[in-house]
Structure 1
Amino acid sequence: MTCFPHPEADAETVTFKSCHFEIHRLRTENRLLRQRIDYLEAESAALADRLVKGQVNLAQEAENSINIAHELSKLRDINSDAHRKLEQAYDTIRELSCSRQGGVLDAAVQVDDTSMIEHIHSLQQELIESHNRQADHENTIRECKIRISELEAANKRLREHEPFEGVAGLQEELISVKMREAESNLALKEMRQRLAELEQHWAKYVHMRTFEPNVTTTENDSNSNDSGNSTSLSVNSARARLAKITASFIGGSSEGDDGCVTIRELEDQLMGVRIKEVDNLAELKEMRQKKAEGWTQNQLRGTSVCEADDDSNIRPIARKTP
Structure 2
Amino acid sequence: ELVRKGIPHHFRAIVWQLLCSAQSMPIKDQYSELLKMTSPCEKLIRRDIARTYPEHDFFKEKDSLGQEVLFNVMKAYSLVDREVGYCQGSAFIVGLLLMQMPEEEAFCVFVKLMQDYRLRELFKPSMAELGLCMYQFECMIQEHLPELYVHFQSQSFHTSMYASSWFLTIFLTTFPLPIATRIFDIFMSEGLEIVFRVGLAVLQMNQAELLQLDMEGMLQHFQKVIPHQFDNGPDKLIQASYQVKYNAKKMKKLEKEYTTIKTKEMEEQVEIKRLRTENRLLKQRIETLEKESASLADRLIQHKCSTRYSEDFVLQLEKELVQARLSEAESHCALKEMQDKVLEMEKRNSSLPDEENVARLQEELIAVKLREAEALMGLKELRQQVKDLDEHWQRHLARTTGRWKDPPRKNTVNELQDELMTVRLREAETQAELKETKQRMMEMETQ
The TM-score normalised by the length of structure 1 is 0.28
Q: Select the structure with the greater relative contact order (CA < 8 A; seq sep ≥ 6).
A: 1
Greater C-alpha Rg: 2
The TM-score normalised by the length of structure 2 is 0.21
